Chains A and B, each alone.
Chain A
Amino acid sequence: MDANASARLKRRVGVAAHGIGLFLAMLLICLPGIWIVLSSLRPTVEILAKPPVWIPQQVSLDAYVAMFSGVGKGGIPVLDYFRNSLIISVTSTVIAIAIGMAGGYAFARYRFRGKSAMFLGLMLTRTVPGIALSLPLFFVYARLDIIDTHFGLILAYVALNVPFTIWLIDGFFRQVPKDLAEAAQIDGCTRWQAFWQVEFPLAGPGIASAGIFAFLTSWNEFALASQLTRSINSKTLPVGLLDYTAEFTIDWRGMCALAVVMIIPALLLTFIVQKHLVGGLTSGAVKG
């Protein structure tokens, strides 16, 4: 075999190995999700079977039907939970993005006293595990009488998300050359117009990713929500999962069905926003 043929063979083997490797990795990542979907469709016997039943024998939508049935027929107030989740996640995301944009822009563009200390301080808040905060937060909220309110959770989630959105958006504004805003000002924009006409559209993808992140954090958060909510006034979907646990039993099928209901909107949102996450939008702004 000549050198060319063996090199070609090597390359083909490499490509195939690469593909197989990627497939295995994806399988590993997707398996829990797939397992949840499957479990929501099969009877409890099959879910708990040992050794596991890989291919479902009986498939039914019973869990979903039950979920939306009234109380007493195995139903839970899923629409209320969904509404709470949506209100809390969307509001806290919008606020976190607004603060993140203002803060990120300030950190990216202005010099001020104590800037790096402040930035470090924001990052340090991320090192505190959320669960460690839940008890002190509970006491404070109890005093303020904002337990079991939308406001309480929104406040907690904004505080949780703001450091990260500032940090992420700061990075994206840094990538937008300063010259562009100056050129816009010379072209007749006010500082404000220059921001909205030039800098904001260019940092858009970054702001969108920060938005997805903040939304998913709030949408999926369980530890704090389970402490700070009590009733259908404010319980979110992750907390709603607990409705499937009774003193001695856990309805795994129902829980998985609710998990699927939770995943779908998050998945849809990510797909929609992903389109706007066009990277490299600033290329061509400066230099050759």
Chain B
Amino acid sequence: MAIVSLKKLTKRYGNMEIVHAIDLDVADREFIALVGPSGCGKSTTLRMIAGLEDISGGTIEIGDRIVNDLPPRSRNISMVFQSYALYPHMTVRENLGFSLKIAGAPKEEMDRRVAEASAILGLDALLERRPSQLSGGQRQRVAMGRAIVRDPDVFLFDEPLSNLDAKLRTQMRTEIKKLHAKVKSTVIYVTHDQVEAMTLADRIVIMRDGNIEQVGTPDEVFQRPATRFVAGFIGSPPMNLQEAIVDGGKIVFSGGQSLPLPGRFKAKVNAGDKVVFGLRPDDLYPVGHGLHSGDAADVHEIELPVTVTEPLGNETLVFAEFDRRDWVSRMLNPRRLRAGDRVAMHFDLSQAHLFSAETGKSLRP
């Protein structure tokens, strides 16, 4: 069990800087998810923590110990790879016990720890099989078992679920969460799937182009995105974002449509400021098919033409045209709508977001 602390951690390949001096503190037993689009530096960061990648600058501390130049084996970590990386020439039992064998652990201890891990993950029936005889989900479990057996200070997961089909992914997600509750280690989990990050992590680190955009609990990053990028990245379907100009008490979109400027932003913007207006699909809904969460005075009604509907059973995503662009809205207790129907929509402006068009930073007071 250990804290992990990154200070000004930098990675360069030649002249290309991939990770720009990031700082991050991970508390003991915390589950942290690094998320971001591909190429954002999250996997590189994880590999630097693991010691599989040299660092170009800064420090990495694991449990009060600077590990910058230690080889992976001396960092007391374990890692679950995207590809699982099971040793194909060994049985499941040998795979699980490999790290203990290398460490020269006595036979009894090896058997005991393999049995423990195997019991936690339900691998007992598979111990004598080879990886090629296992299904994707089973391989995934063996990979996790191999990580548990080491009893590491920190677990590192590198997109462990991305090779599984959708159903299995949901199932394994739950298993990882249960596992963390059982073994109570520090976990650093890399994923490009924001749903995985939201459901699993205590805190989420959103990365982009080698920088950290925001660190926060799932609620924080969802409710209070610090930047336009985070707003667009977290949440499914993504937040509606549209550039606009502040004009007195209104924000005017490029297409000429306008909405009233929510009161709490008045002190933060001036007339003529270029901004990006953001509204989650949950806060835009056909009248009578959603819940407004703030002051009723902030709910603004506009009639819009429907362009596409995507029924999901319990709800329907309605795409409606506003200011020459499709805005996605979430319709609860759905009724049938057809493309071309005109529907009265509620814009719940108490939940609206405003970002500076220049810096992308949130203008929330």
Contacts and interface: CB of A to CB of B under 8 A. Distances in A.
Interface stretch (A9-17, A93-101, A121-129, A181-189): A181-189
B137 to A, nearest CB: 8
Contact of B85 (A179, A191, A283): A179
B81 A285 contact: no
A284 B103 CA distance: 25
B33 interface: no
Contacts of B132: 283-284
B89 A179 contact: no
Interface hub of A177, A180, A183 (most chain B Cβ within 10 A): A183
Nearest to B134: A284
A187 B83 contact: no
B73 A189 contact: yes
Contact of A183 (B79, B89, B134, B135): B79
Contact of B87 (A184, A193, A288): A184
Find the residue from A180, A187, A284 having the highest chain B CB count within 10 A. A187
A186 B132 CA distance: 22
A197 B89 CA distance: 10
B163 A285 contact: no
A185 B136 CA distance: 23
Contacts of B150: 187-188
Nearest to B47: A182
B364 to A, nearest CB: 41
Contact of A188 (B85, B89, B99, B136): B99
B83 A198 contact: no
B179 to A, nearest CB: 18
Contacts of B82: 179
Interface string A178-209: 01101111111111010001100110000000
B102 A282 contact: no
Contact residues on A (Cβ < 8 Å of other chain), bracket: 20 to 34
A276 to B, nearest CB: 12
Nearest to B143: A183
A26 interface: no
A186 to B, nearest CB: 5
Contacts of B78: 186-187
A287 interface: yes
A202 B88 CA distance: 8
A7 interface: no
A189 B88 contact: no
A286 B72 contact: no
A284 B99 contact: no
A180 B87 CA distance: 7
A190 B87 CA distance: 16
Contact size class for B? Answer: 20 to 34
B73 A188 contact: yes
A187 B74 CA distance: 10
A191 B102 CA distance: 13
A128 B304 CA distance: 77
A186 B50 contact: yes
**Interface-centre pick from B71, B88, B136 (highest chain A CB count, 10 A):** B88
A284 B72 contact: no
A288 B139 contact: yes
Interface in A189-242: 189-191, 193, 197-198, 201-202
Q: Which of B77, B132, B133, B164 has the most CB of A within 10 A?
A: B132
Nearest to B152: A186
Contacts of B136: 287-288
A194 B102 CA distance: 10
Contacts of B99: 187-188
Contacts of A281: 88-89
A186 B73 contact: yes
Contacts of A189: 73, 102
A202 B89 contact: yes
Interface in B163-209: 163-164
B131 interface: yes
Nearest to A286: B83
Contacts of B274: none
A193 B71 CA distance: 13
B98 interface: yes
A189 B78 CA distance: 12
B89 A286 contact: no
B130 interface: yes
A286 B132 CA distance: 9
Given A281-B88, A288-B164, A187 B146 contact: yes
Contacts of B133: 284
Given A183-B146, A284-B139, 11 more contacts: A179-B82, A179-B85, A187-B78, A187-B98, A188-B73, A188-B103, A198-B87, A284-B130, A285-B83, A288-B135, A288-B139
Interface of A: 177, 179-180, 182-191, 193, 197-198, 201-202, 281-288
Closest 5 CB pairs of A and B: A284-B132, A288-B136, A286-B83, A179-B85, A284-B131
24 contacts: A182-B72, A182-B81, A182-B85, A183-B85, A183-B146, A185-B51, A185-B71, A186-B52, A187-B99, A187-B102, A188-B102, A188-B150, A189-B73, A189-B102, A197-B98, A198-B87, A198-B89, A202-B89, A281-B88, A284-B86, A284-B130, A285-B85, A286-B85, A288-B164
